[in-house]
Amino acid sequence: MNTKHQPDFVHEQLTDEHAETIRATLPLVGSKIDEIAPNFYQRMFSANPDLLRDTFNRGNQARGAQQKALAASVATFATLLVNPDGPSPDELLSRIGHKHVSLGITEDQYQIVHDNLFAAIVDVLGADVVTAPVAEAWDEVYWIMARTLVRFENALYEKAGVEPGEVFLTAKVARRIDQGEHVASFELEARQGEPALRSFLPGQYISVRRTMADGAGQLRQYSLCNAPTEGRWQFTVKQVLGDTTPAGEVSTSLVEGLKEGDELEVSLPTGDLVLDQDSEAPVVLISAGIGATPMLGMARALADEKSTRQVLVLHADQDAAGAALVDELTEAVDALPNGSLKLWFEKGEHELATLGLMQLDQVELPEGAQFYLCGSNGFLMAVRSQLQEAGVPAESIHFELFAPNDWLLPK
């Protein structure tokens, strides 16, 4: 995480009494997250159906991918808060804060979450377990986290020059590039007569809002994959197909229905996984599948500024024949004086590729490098483990998850 572009975190501490209560009850709360989370969401959406329609992604909810994220983030924050020898909670808070800004979350919504989450906790654990002292301690954990996030998010809104929550604008699709079956890139520009789209930091993302047949405004985040230039934002979409799980509403709407000349509602760029452009250290960009998008943006930014830094791009995908953005990664690396590319495909042939899963012991990792990772949970866990085995310090590993549980911190 690069913190140079964002506000500092200042959060309160629990009283000794509350901290002791949290330590005593954390194992039980943690063990019941899988029960608390669906109870919480069912309560919140029943009382506030507009949140499921216009803020939360229905596909992620239906697949169960998002059910655990919010409740688990509170438990994770509590763990970090009562463990003085553990990692700082700043990385957790930064991820959540940037995601909230991309969705236009405002302070009043924290009360809605609080009321439904704590009702779920009492329902699952029982009133005999959630006594007044226990409820008071967990209540304080939540509001310390909430107040910290509200301050951070409001500072991000202020830096962006907008009122809290007012992050959405309508842009025009200047170009559509079909990248193969079920994958398309879209280049956006400002509508005629409106200010140019602002620049951004390499690695940041936008939220895209699509209105569905039932009128719901569904949201999905996509990384910007072009070099930061005033006036143009480019992102790439892989359609989420419905086989054993529900199809992705937003991705299907974009890939099947969005064309050049159309208008699209998007948020201002945000995100804390950004390339440190002030450093001269070597850069290693590691991705799998459509996780290549932020890495492509970083590689293009380095090429655009004619960087002489050593840049190693490592990418894996299932099939060489259908892999998206490989040609674009190759082009970006070719434009770097000290760039190199290594590919892995589970099947198919490519002149730069090795057959099989990504194995970092097959490449020479540069000393003192900063590592940027993006992909599925399983891929990131496997790669992070390989980096740790190679002796890479944890503080040199920065990652983005293409999944709702982005509260996850390095173990």
Instruction: Report, as residue numbers or ranges, the catalytic residues.
Output: 110, 153
Cβ neighbours, 10 Å, residue 42? 13
Q: Which residues sit opposite 283 in a β-bridge?
A: 311, 370
How many C-alpha atoms does 260 have within 13 Å on its Cβ side?
5
CB 312 within 8 A of CB 342: yes
Rounded to whole angstroms, the Cα distance separating 54 from 209 reads 9
How many C-alpha atoms does 323 have within 13 Å on its Cβ side?
27
Angle at alpha carbon of residue 186, lines to 54 and 358, rounded to 5°? 95
Rounded to whole angstroms, the Cα distance separating 374 from 395 reads 16
SS3 65: coil
Q: List C-alpha distances in Å: 285 to 273, 292, 341, 369, 377.
A: 12, 9, 9, 10, 17
What tokens appear for 75 in the block? 């438990």
CB 220 within 8 A of CB 201: no
Torsion of CA 63, 67, 70, 71, to 10 degrees: -160
313 φ/ψ angles, rounded to the nearest 5 degrees: -110, 120
Exposed, middle or buried: residue 141 (CB in 10 Å: 0-12, 13-18, 19+)?
A: buried
Exposed, middle or buried: residue 297 (CB in 10 Å: 0-12, 13-18, 19+)?
A: buried
CB 169 within 8 A of CB 220: no
Output DSSP code: residue 227: -
Rounded to whole angstroms, the Cα distance separating 44 from 111 reads 11
